[in-house]
Structure 1
Amino acid sequence: MNMKTRVSTIEQFENIKVSTSEFLVIKHSLTCPVSTAAFDEYEKFVNDHADVPTFYLYVQEERDLSNYIAEKHEIKHESPQALFFKNGEVVWNASHWKITNRSLTEAIR
């Protein structure tokens, strides 16, 4: 089963935090080549780790949510950006070229 779901509202995101103890969020820019490369790496990760719940958002379309996550968790917004949540808190994050299948795999260990 593919555990890749788009999240587009603050309410959806907060529900995920309450109902899912560990998950990954990817902030993806639809216009950035670096973000496209990072999203490709994310998709490889999803294919290799079907048991890990992952969520993604398009920063251009979900700007309110993207800003909310940055402010609420005190992590400077970047795009692309990967954030790993455990018990509602960000325990790992990376951006740009640091988002690879390998770095994502190491983050969840």
Structure 2
Amino acid sequence: MATTKIESQAEFEELISKESFLLIKHSLTCPVSGAAFEEYESFLEDHQGENTAYLAVQEARPLSNYIAEAYGIKHESPQAILFRNGKPVWNASHWKITYDTLSKAIKSEQ
């Protein structure tokens, strides 16, 4: 699986400078978040060429808050945000994070 765990604003800024990437914010203790992360992992198996990253909210709270504030996307966990050219173009949270919704978001935003 080609994914990167990020924990700092510097790591995020490096990703945002790329053309596009999918970010997953998840909680290490929430069952809904665990289910969403499993959907993300399934998605990764079939989309290994996609740039993706994730953060664990409990380990990177300042980064999670920074992203919410800087991009005007209310913090939720779990949350998926697709960035293109430095801007968020799609996001989903909770049970809306599935293999299918991630696949459709990537295809529709290309």
| Fold in common (TM above 0.5) | yes
Tell me the equivalent position of 1:73. 71
Q: Report the residue type matching 1:17 in the other structure.
A: I
How far residue 3 of structure 1 moved from its aligned partner, in angstroms, is: 1.8
How far residue 16 of structure 1 moved from its aligned partner, in angstroms, is: 1.0
Per the alignment, in what secondary structure is the counterpart of residue 105 of structure 1?
helix
Aligned counterparts of 2:53 and 2:65: Cα–Cα separation in 1: 16
Tell me the equivalent position of 1:4. 3
Q: Deviations over 1:8-34 (max 9, x none)?
A: 10011011111x111000001000000
How large is the Cα RMSD of the aligned pairs? 0.5
Aligned counterparts of 2:62 and 2:41: Cα–Cα separation in 1: 24
Q: What stretches of structure 2 of length at least 5 have no aligned partner?
A: none
- What is the percentage of aligned positions where both structures have the same residue? 58
Tell me the equivalent position of 1:37. 35
TM-score of the aligned structures, taking structure 1 as reference length: 0.96
Tell me the equivalent position of 1:23. 21
Runs of 4+ off more than 2 Å: none
TM-score of the aligned structures, taking structure 2 as reference length: 0.96
Q: Report the residue type matching 2:4 in the other structure.
A: T
